[in-house]
Amino acid sequence: MKKCVSLLLAAVLCMGLTACQLPSPQKQLSDEEVVLTLVEAFKNGDYEGLKPFISDDNPLHTFFAGMDPETGGKMSGAYKALYDKVRSSISVTAQAVEGKEAWGTVSTVISAPDYAAAIHDAMVEALADQVTTGSTAFHDMPDWIAKAVAQGSAETREETFELHVGNRDGEMVMDTNTNREFFAMLCGGFKPYLNASITTCTFPDGTSWVIEAQGDEIVAMINTEQVEPDSSYTEEDLALVAQGFMDTYAAVKGITAWAGVVDGLFSASFGVDMENADTFALNNMGIISDRTTAGSRGWLSLDSTISGFTRDGATCVTETFKPEAEESAS
């Protein structure tokens, strides 16, 4: 009897309250609407609005986490500056591909600014500054990335992709792997820096390596050695030695070198831009070795390099610029 009365009271209450009305089912978006809705949410900074359409491994989770000072840390300003430049210039058209509707295939034309070249140029400039002046410019990745975005010129890329929208557990989701180039374009050329780091390895004799990496791939590095010159060397002798050191690297593509006397010590330093350097030449010069090269994957491995250096007595410290916590759809 009590149960019947409770049900009756609930029914009466619902008759007078609109909140008790059943919600209408959400409209099912078409495949092209999924693409356009995601892009619009990205342009509006609506992370919650795009999350339902991307999987947990999508780089946009890291990209948006990077803009938050609490998770992006020192790099958050660079993330935000680049995002503001990119979102205002993106344009997209999308059309389902006839005959491929069952596979969720959408022909998409996207035009977006790409800051990859500007960021690389800023990195090379910072590397050269640290090599030749002894500054910490190369260490300060957030600074030279921010300068690249503020002062550099973006290349405008336009690409046509056949994107794929799939149904995953009842949700319309754009797969990360099959659509990876499209998502990379949304990141404005910044995707490689979503997992960037600077590692400093110091040996007992004072020799140091400063290494920039993107994930496990080393993209640039600086080596510095300092020794107390023999008292028999004159200033002219040391100048000749310094010039000889710089001449050794002058003709080697992708390397900047400097040597001279600093605070009574003979200092020699060289920096390597792996994008422009010839790995075969670097190997012949003893700068890299087979044991630190990631074999068939074709890059210089950070993990292997650190392992080799620590076995030889170095102490290595890595500062990562990847956001501390990533939001995901989970």
The per-residue pLDDT for range 276-318, each reduced to its tens digit, is: 998 888 888 888 876 555 444 568 899 989 999 999 999 999 9
Between 14-18, 68-72, 224-228, the lowest mean confidence (pLDDT) is in 14-18
pLDDT of 330: 38
Specify the residue for token string 């404005």.
188
Reading across the β-sheet that carries 91-96, which strands appear in turn?
91-96, 105-114, 155-168, 171-174
pLDDT of 327: 44
Cα distances from 17 to residues 4, 11, 48, in angstroms, run 20, 10, 29
**pLDDT at residue 328 above 60?**
no
Sign of CA dihedral 294, 296, 297, 298: positive
**pLDDT at residue 201 above 60?**
yes
Determine whether 202 is exposed, middle or buried from the number of CB atoms within 10 Å of its CB (0-12, 13-18, 19+). middle
Is 274 strand, coil or helix? coil
Region 252-269 average pLDDT: 95
Say which CATH class 195-320 falls into: alpha beta
Say which CATH class 31-113+155-189 falls into: alpha beta
pLDDT of 144: 95
pLDDT of 38: 96
pLDDT, greater one: 279 or 220: 220
User: Do residues 161 and 110 make contact, with C-beta atoms less than 8 angstroms apart?
Assistant: yes
User: Do residues 203 and 313 make contact, with C-beta atoms less than 8 angstroms apart?
Assistant: yes
Please provide residue 24's backbone torsions phi and psi, each rounded to the nearest 5 degrees: -75, 145
The tokens for 38 are 């995601």
DSSP-assigned letters across all residues of 155-192: EEEEEEEEEEEEEETTEEEE-TTTTHHHHHHHTTT-GG
Sequence ranges of the domains in the chain: 31-113+155-189, 195-320
pLDDT of 169: 62
Region 165-187 average pLDDT: 88
Global confidence as pTM: 0.85
Largest CA distance in the chain: 109
User: Do residues 70 and 80 make contact, with C-beta atoms less than 8 angstroms apart?
Assistant: no
pLDDT above 90 covers a percentage of the chain that reads 74
Residues 138-162: tens digit of each pLDDT: 999 999 999 999 998 899 999 999 9
pLDDT of 280: 84
pLDDT of 41: 97
Between 22-26, 255-259, 270-274, 317-321, the lowest mean confidence (pLDDT) is in 22-26
